[in-house]
């Protein structure tokens, strides 16, 4: 019988950089609501403990060149040195081992482990604790965790990454159950013989927090397209801005919400892609963003493992135009919850299609809500509980 579960993730609230932190928090708090004793272990810039919405959280300082939360401000040399230490961080074992002995969990569930390194898997299995791992990025098979070079997705694991991640491949065999946040990301690892010995190999999509039944959208005079996420080249922001300039219609707007990937990046974009129809709105809450937006655009250049923002958009009945990359091909039901595109021409065509057929947006709304219902926290966490029971 499972009572206590320890979840690991590189970062945890309030230190949020992306979807992994949000998904892990939803998982932890939903497990707590279902009656489990839940503990989270995350990296921190110092050792401390806290209670976050009822969940006990350990923020553990794992010595390295910098803390993972500060990665975006680091230069290339520092990142290279960080990765060298993170190949197998020997400082992890002693600190994590003490917490595991103190908490005595029935099962451990790792998510992103950059900062801990794969040595955390050894620490867990030395104590013979059942281990579930969720693949949320390419950390185990790629030196940079992105499978991306020159803003283009890698079609295969390069020789450099094979060498750098070899120890991760070896230690991955200790994981009892491996779960991808999409079939795509799972298969991307299994084909290189990672997690061969896992007794469960499956995929479970990321959860959304809620579907707001009382949500009321703004009635826009102009058609409003929106981008929500990290303002970064690999997210396709420049492809979006370049394509939007080719839309010959004054009665459309584009909102870009999110923080920039590097200092002054947004200012540079404003100068390069000058357009009074485009507005950078900074960090906003999802409900405030989707209230203003008719169509979400997610033009990722890399093979996105899942595409959390697309699922969040569905919860508000907002269809999407997304690149035909990675896990996005699984979450976007083409012609039902939005459209996928392969080329810049197709991208522009899809934007123009919504402009010329605004009634389609309303028609897709119910499809989006129905898709969102399959991704609610209760449904997703129940799937994880079944996995926990299998490995126990």
Q: List the beta bridge partners of residue 226.
A: 255, 296
Q: How far apart are CA 187 and CA 193, in angstroms?
A: 10
Which pair of tokens denotes residue 341? Answer: 């595109």
pLDDT band at 83 (very low <50, low <70, confident <90, very high): very high
Q: How far is CA 379 from CA 2, 28, 126, 282, 367, in A?
A: 19, 14, 32, 32, 18
What pLDDT is stored for residue 214 in this prediction?
80
Residue 207: DSSP 8-state:
P
Looking at residues 79-87, what average pLDDT do you find? Answer: 95
Give me the pLDDT at residue 21, please: 96
pLDDT of residue 151: 74
Residue found by looking up tokens 């219902």 in the block? 373
Can you name the residues that pair with 253 across neighbouring β-strands?
A: 224
Instruction: Note the pLDDT tens digit of each residue in 180-232.
Output: 999 999 999 999 999 999 999 999 999 998 898 788 888 888 999 999 998 98
- Structural contact between residues 40 and 58, judged by C-beta atoms closer than 8 angstroms: yes
pTM of the model: 0.94
Looking at per-residue confidence, does 339 or 212 come out higher? 339
pLDDT digits (tens, 9 = 90+) for 350-379: 999 999 999 999 999 999 999 999 999 999
Q: How far apart are CA 283 and CA 86, in angstroms?
A: 31
Whether the CB-CB separation of 157 and 141 falls below 8 Å is answered with yes
Q: What's the whole-number mean pLDDT along residues 25-31?
A: 98
Cβ atoms of 258 and 231 within 8 Å: the answer is yes
Distance CA 289, CA 257 (A): 8
List, as one string, the DSSP characters of 67-108.
Answer: -GGGGGG--HHHHHHHHHHHTS-THHHHHHHHHHHHH--SEE
Instruction: State pLDDT tens for residues 90-135.
Output: 999 989 999 999 999 999 999 999 999 999 999 999 999 999 999 9
Q: Write out pLDDT tens, residues 149-185.
A: 877 788 899 999 999 999 999 999 999 999 999 999 9
Domains of the chain: 4-207+376-391 (3.40.50.2000), 223-373 (3.40.50.2000)
């Amino acid at each position: 019988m499972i009572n206590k579960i320890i979840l690991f993730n590189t970062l945890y609230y309030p230190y949020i950089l992306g979807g992994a932190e949000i998904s892990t928090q939803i998982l932890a708090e939903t497990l707590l609501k279902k009656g489990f004793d839940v503990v989270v272990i995350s990296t921190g810039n110092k050792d401390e403990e806290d209670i976050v919405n009822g969940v006990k959280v350990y923020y553990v300082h794992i010595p390295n060149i910098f803390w993972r939360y500060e990665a975006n401000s680091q230069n290339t040399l520092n990142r290279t040195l960080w990765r060298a230490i993170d190949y197998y961080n020997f400082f992890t074992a002693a600190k994590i081992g003490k917490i595991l002995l103190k908490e005595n969990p029935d099962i451990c569930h790792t998510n992103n482990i950059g900062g801990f390194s794969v040595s955390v898997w050894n620490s867990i299995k030395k104590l013979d604790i059942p281990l579930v791992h969720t693949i949320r990025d390419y950390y185990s098979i790629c030196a940079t965790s992105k499978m991306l070079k020159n803003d283009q997705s890698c079609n295969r694991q390069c020789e450099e990454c094979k060498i750098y991640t070899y120890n991760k491949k070896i230690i991955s065999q200790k994981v009892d159950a491996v779960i991808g946040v999409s079939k795509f990301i799972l298969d991307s690892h299994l084909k290189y013989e990672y997690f061969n010995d896992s007794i469960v190999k499956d995929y479970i999509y990321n959860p959304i927090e809620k579907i707001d039944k009382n949500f009321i959208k703004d009635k826009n005079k102009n058609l409003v397209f929106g981008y929500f996420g990290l303002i970064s080249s690999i997210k396709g922001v420049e492809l979006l801005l370049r394509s939007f300039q080719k839309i010959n219609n004054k009665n459309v707007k584009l909102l870009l919400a999110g923080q920039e990937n590097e200092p002054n990046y947004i200012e540079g974009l404003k100068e390069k892609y000058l357009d009074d129809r485009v507005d950078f709105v900074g960090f906003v809450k999802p409900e405030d963003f989707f209230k203003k937006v008719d169509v979400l655009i997610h033009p990722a250049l890399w093979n996105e493992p899942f595409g959390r923002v697309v699922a969040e958009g569905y919860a508000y009945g907002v269809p999407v135009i997304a690149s035909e990359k990675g896990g996005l091909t699984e979450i976007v039901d083409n012609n039902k919850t939005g459209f996928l595109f392969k080329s810049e021409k197709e991208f522009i065509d899809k934007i123009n299609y919504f402009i010329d057929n605004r009634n389609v947006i309303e028609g897709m709304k119910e499809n989006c809500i129905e898709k969102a219902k399959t991704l609610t926290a209760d449904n997703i966490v129940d799937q994880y509980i079944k996995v926990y029971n299998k490995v126990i």
